[in-house]
Chains A and B, each alone.
Chain A
Amino acid sequence: MFESGIVLSIIGAVIAAVLAGIGSGIGIYTAGSKAAGVLSEKPDLFGKILVITALPGSQGVYGLLIAILALSKIGLFSTTPVEVPIEIGYKILWAGILMGFAGFASAWLQGRVAAAGIGAVGRDESLAGKAIVLAVLIETYAIFGLLVALLIVNSIQL
């Protein structure tokens, strides 16, 4: 199966979406559990805490983005099937692996930073902005992953 361009491409797209999605899930789980705890004490903080909790969610979207872009590049959504050369398949596979792992690790760990930030906001509301900034520092690396994956996928011309 590693000789078919289309199979490789689909594996790449799946890795990007699934790994980044799992990372986001774990990240939001970590942050969300902490958020629920803080909210039980201070329900007024919901707006601020929601924003911090949502931060690890973006990696899942980046993964989805790469997956859909890759699938549309190989013509999966069009009615006429396109022959996908093996090199293109490998391009997409590597882009997917890159996005998947960058998204997975950064979302997973961003969730921890977000959870700690939520704890800080629970004690002092005015720290919300700083807590967001700290969590966003990690996201940089997901964005770099996204950037490189985008450049790879976008270079494909079929």
Chain B
Amino acid sequence: MTEPEGNSLYARSETIQPRSVRGRFRSWKYLAMVVLLPWWYLAPFLRWDRGLGAPDQAILIDMGGRRAYFLGLEIWPQEVYYLTGILVVAAIVLFLVSALYGRVWCGFLCWQTVYTDLFVQIERMVIGDRTRRLALDRAPWSLDKLARKGAVHLLWILISGACGIAFTLYFGDAPTMLPAILTGRESVAVYGAIAVVGGFCYLLAGFAREQVCLYMCPYSRFQAAMFDEHSLIVGYETWRGEPRGRWRKGQPFEGRGHCIDCGVCVAVCPTGVDIRNGSQLGCIGCGLCIDGCDSMMDRVGLPRGLITWDSIASQAARAQGETPRHRLVRPRTLVYGAILAVALGVIGWSLLGRSTTEMTVLHERALLYVRLSDGSIRNGYVVKILNKVRSERQFTLDIEGLEGVRMSVIGGGPHLKVAPDSVGSFTVFVTAAAGIATGRRVPLVFVLRDQKGGDETRAESLFVGPDR
């Protein structure tokens, strides 16, 4: 059956085999790879001493113990708003950096970019550069092709598997988990996580590649909204390059553009776009086309910078023969900077004021008050004390706001003992003599004091009495 053109919901994608290139931006990409990949794989092994009984892993998300550790910070489940804070800061940093320097994240730092880059380097080492790879793709199956393709996929799978393993190490004690994983002693959940994360690493970096940036990723869609004419982006100097045309050595450049239409910029592009068509969604801003074009300009004997990492405003200025002036401080960057400062300030302020003790008081609901035989009125409360310190603590509980009341604690005298790093729950009864709390709901403040001094925590509640 012949499928007519334009009637299919599925567009076959051509595999992009980017050519290797040397230059400034290539070096930056190598640097990003050399810093980020070891960091991802080795960070779980960093240690951080938190004292006896506490995990000594610098970065640890302890699901079973319901704690997250980041260096000196220990986050309880109810403090998950710190995660929200981190995400807000990350988003604003992305906005600010995009407005200033373009898609730096996409081009250099994103794991999709870094892993794709690594996988392409492996193909280059095992098979060869672009032309060799394209030739091998076209070639019929042979022992050589099988061996080379097999080696590439084996290496990809090893790296992806290690990626999956590294992911799981953030959720447990890495030095004990790693041998357990390798000797088959870990749980099905761990191997499942490794299979999912590793499988997607293999799939996305090995096969999907630029499709992820073009079709899946939301960031590539909205980053352009952060740009203005002063943002640094990868761009083709149309005024200088056009009209483009083939060039043979020795021909003069009078009356034509400097672009010799050699196609290097397209061949080196990891997403396969032609930057000469202008800034576009597919351009992840990695600058490899700049490296490619610069090396070609050197060979042709023309000045570098036919493709530049520059702002639209500078480009326009140069086209007019004016000196370009790059403006970092603009209303847009000021607003992003201000939002970032506020977000960081709020997080920092709440971290600094983070208490080691928290108390919640819940008034008994099943019976709001009990009338005792001598006519006095008793209220019940559940007092929960969060001890975020790694040692047992003793607290004293007091009441303010109601005079002449008695307080008793079920399962504890005046000293409320709370185990290290846990929540203590106490039933507290408050009794007021007849008449004191009649006909009203009296606000009541529970005051918790650490017996070793220092900490004082307050929680508000009510004392309920009969209407009459």
A-B complex is real:
no
Instruction: State the A residues within 8 Å of B (CB).
Output: none
Instruction: State the B residues within 8 Å of A (CB).
Output: none
